[in-house]
Amino acid sequence: MTERSEFVARWGRAAALSLVAGTVGGAAVLAGQAIAARNRQYAQPELGLALRATVGRPGAPALRLVLLGDSSALGVGVTSFEETVGGQLAHLLTEGPTGRRVHLSSVGVSGSRSTDLATQVARALLGERPDVAVILIGANDATGLARPADAAAYLGSAVRRLREAHVEVVVGTCPDLGAVRAVAAPLRQLLGWSGRRVARAQTAAVLDAGGTVVDLGTETGPVFRADAGTLCHDGYHPSADGYRVWAHALLPAVEAAATVASRHH
């Protein structure tokens, strides 16, 4: 988890609000859990992971796919390209008789919030224009207690810029933070609540900007809650199995976006 000191400060303030409300015991528990979360060792980005790769058979229809967002877009928590959400999604897109040759890149930055997407969009549009952009963002907005409307506005602006550049956009909304195991209850429940607020605001903003939404919390949250193996060793970032679950959830929307993009060629 990135920006952990701010995480503690903000959730410490949340604990203080609970104290004002009269729940002294609950506030103390929340404050203690925030400190414990701050001191945990979390997975870090693997510098060896490929940010650019081409997969699929030569001669297959080409698809330029770019990932934007936070640590999810980089695959923090795994050690090989094939295990990242981008790598797994790319391989899924190459399968079957209509499989594609996927040129995958990522401009995501670990720790990013929606306010950081403007820079990533500029990087994504450098050089040859991508056909489809997948944005994975929201967890750091939720843990940082950003106002959902503000976070969604930045995301909507990024989607709109990509659509104006004739890029199809698929957004995976904030995942189910109530499924993380790095944080105990009741802080875990508060994280889940914050994540759901962000995801709802994201959905409205993305649809208004012309993008497609995949509600990762609703579609994959139950799997993450039921299976601890979907998280890596830190109990926060997805494991290879977790990224596989996300890739399968994103696949139908990305395939549909790729079909639309191919008609514009």
Asked if residue 230 lies in contact with residue 242, where contact means CB atoms within 8 angstroms, the answer is yes
Specify whether 116 is catalytic.
no
Spot the catalytic one: 116, 176, 234, 239.
Answer: 234
Which of the residues 70, 112, 176, 237 is marked catalytic? 237
Contact between 62 and 100 under an 8 Å Cβ cutoff? The reply is: yes
Q: Is 264 labeled as catalytic in the residue annotation?
A: no
Task: Given the residues 18, 71, 194, 239, select the one marked as catalytic.
Answer: 71
Can 71 be counted among the known catalytic residues? yes
Catalytic residues: 71, 234, 237
